[in-house]
Structure 1
Amino acid sequence: MTDDGLVFRALADGSRRFLLDLLFARDGRTLTELESELTEMTRFGVMKHLKVLEEAGLVVTRRAGREKLHFLNPVPIRLVHDRWIDKYTEPQVAALVDLKAELEDDVSTTTTYSTVQVHRVYIKATPERIWTALTEADWAEKYGYQCRVAYELREGGSYKAFANAAMGTEGDVIIKGEVVEVEPPRRLVQTWDPVWIDEPATRLTYEIAEGPNGVCSLTLTHDLADAPQTADQVAGRLENAGGGWPQVLSDLKTLLETGSSLYA
């Protein structure tokens, strides 16, 4: 399970921050690819740093054939942001970050479109409660973008998300999709198609796994082949588009653990 202490410890080392920068620039890299960027460090040293990042939840791995791919998981950083940076300090912090980016060019700030995003959050709640929060309309309105959803929880069933009053078109369908796999309360696979983006539908997978002490992991894998605009949208990279999946998962955790949303 991640906590703020593990995240701060992981971020305290420059080499580990560099690895996260590399994954931000291009996600889904192998150990060999990452090692090639750290020429002054041994393979074992890179592995040790990646282990610390994994323990902090900042890196999630996924097998692709014989290869082990590493993905940046920004959710723990979002959780730290939501806890420690309030609405009064955020503009000042953002200004400092922008200034730092202008003064330093160790890593290119240009990102390469990644066809897969993997996000993971740890929540002190039962699998059934997390499943309900993901799939039931009354819960979906309480966190993230606060959009009501409608699921037909069967293979081939429909999925719809509706605009809320703050969006100015309350009740309009803004995201549609189809249920591909449903195994409550462990696994849900669906297509995901924002109606305002002219791209192919993408594939979204939720996986819930029980851990010790009543804590479950929720892993969200978004396969975004041929959908670069959708990828930017869900990563929270577009202006006025919110924080994407990291914001949604951070708020879901807060809601289930405290009873209150960060953004309500």
Structure 2
Amino acid sequence: MDDVFKALADPNRRKLLDRLFRRDGQTLGELCERVDMTRFGVMKHLRVLEEAGLISSRRQGREKLHYLNPMPIRLVHDRWVSKYRAPFAAALSDLKSRLEVKMAEIQVYELFIRTTPEKLWQALTDGEVTKKYFFGEEIHSDWKPGSEWYSSSPEGRRDVDGKVLECDPLRRLVITWRVLYNPDLSKELSRVTYLIDQRGEMCKLSVTHDVSDAPKTASHVSTNGWQWVISSLKSLLETGQGLPTPQ
């Protein structure tokens, strides 16, 4: 976590994070607008932020888009914020997000996990494992392109479903995503991409949720879902225990 604190210590880097918080997925040129920094200076700060895992970047044609990655800050929160204060802090954060920003159309989450590609892939696709870290949800599919997938609650209710678009075992999984337990959300369809990149004894997990056609889903999964799920997955694979389900 030293890289995270070092990156956050600079006010210019915090300003860049604020810019991405207000509108995610910006190019270098857009981030250079209305800042008292040279283009080269912005590039250097973005490199530090990316090395710390606080932002990620994606190529879109000739452009490189930058996205805020909340996972390192979430890990700091999970480690040091008292469990008694966490619900209150989360509620305030949720309220602040709803009042200040429109949720990003593409949400990107990245995290390094000390595990193997085989174990990480199993954790993403095996229902006996998902229910240990994914709010008790058990996932079901044969993971063949074109097949259906769905997750069921501990009570047996089907909560989320979709189609398998791409499946490259141990590397890449792309699925559509439809939330069923909320009538408003069940009308929206989004897409989730999981990428596994082995880095020595670690694996970098990238989760990209394209909610460009699902604005209500965007708000829901951002404030209630992915950050906690991925943190719980990391805990399960590294310690054998997922995180306690938030109340």
Q: TM-score, normalised by structure 1?
A: 0.85
**Which position in structure 2 is the counterpart of 1:127?**
117
Q: 1:20-31 alignment to 2 at 5 Å?
A: 20-31=17-28
Return the letter of the residue paired with 1:25: R
The CA deviation at 1:94 is 6.5
Are residues 122 and 110 of structure 1, via their aligned partners in 2, closer, same or farther at CA, if it must alter by over 3 Å?
same
- The answer on 1:10 being equivalent to 2:7 is yes
1:185 corresponds in structure 2 to 170
Tell me whether 1:70 sits opposite 2:66 in the alignment.
yes
* Aligned counterpart for 1:224 among listed residues 194, 211, 220: 211
2:203 is the alignment partner of 1:206: no
Matches within 5 A, 1:73-222: 73-90=69-86, 110-164=100-154, 170-195=155-180, 196=182, 197-212=185-200, 214-222=201-209
Residue type of the partner of 2:22? Answer: A
2:47 paired residue number: 51
Q: Does the 8 A contact of 1:25 with 1:109 survive in 2?
A: no
2:76 counterpart SS class: helix
Task: Spell out, residue by residue over 1:47-106, the C-alpha distance to the aligned partner (whole angstroms, 9 max, x if none).
Answer: 1111111011010000000000000000111111111112134367669989xx8xxxxx
TM-score, L = length of structure 2: 0.91
Match of 1:263 in 2: 244
In 2, Cα distance between equivalents of 1:28 and 1:7: 20
Task: Output the amino acid matched with 1:160.
Answer: Y
Deviation at 1:246, TM superposition (A): 1.2
Q: Secondary structure of the residue that 1:48 maps to in structure 2?
A: helix
Q: Say if 1:199 and 1:226, in contact at 8 Å, map to a contact too.
A: no
**1:104 aligns to what?**
none
RMSD, aligned CA = 2.1
Question: In the aligned structure 1, how far is the partner of 2:69 from the partner of 2:8?
Answer: 13
CA distance in 1, matches of 2:16, 2:66: 10
Aligned to 1:34: 31
Shift of 1:200: 2.9
Count of aligned residue pairs for this structure pair: 240
Amino acid corresponding to residue 231 of structure 1 in structure 2: A
Q: Aligned letter for 1:133? A: A
**Which consecutive residues of structure 2, in runs of 5 or more, have no partner in the other structure?**
none
* Equivalent position SS for 1:87: coil
Question: 1:150-186 CA distances to partner (integer Å, 9 max, x unpaired)?
Answer: 122101111111123xxxxx21111010101111111
Asked whether the equivalents of residues 178 and 186 of structure 2 are also in contact (C-alpha less than 8 Å), the reply is: no
Are 2:193 and 2:208, in contact at CA under 8 Å, matched by a contact in 1? yes
Residue 229 of structure 2 corresponds to 248
Q: CA 1:78/1:97 → structure 2, altered by over 3 Å: closer, same or farther? A: closer
Q: Give the percent of matched residue pairs that are identical in Structure 1 and Structure 2.
A: 48
Give unpaired runs (5+ residues) of structure 1: 102-107, 165-169, 237-241
CA distance in 2, matches of 1:234, 1:208: 21
- Counterpart AA for 1:112: K
* Deviation by residue 1:237-261 (Cα, 9 ceiling, x = unmatched): xxxxx3x211111110111001111
For residue 210 of structure 1, what is the amino acid of its counterpart?
Q
1:239 paired residue number: none
Look up the SS of the partner of 1:146 in the other structure.
coil
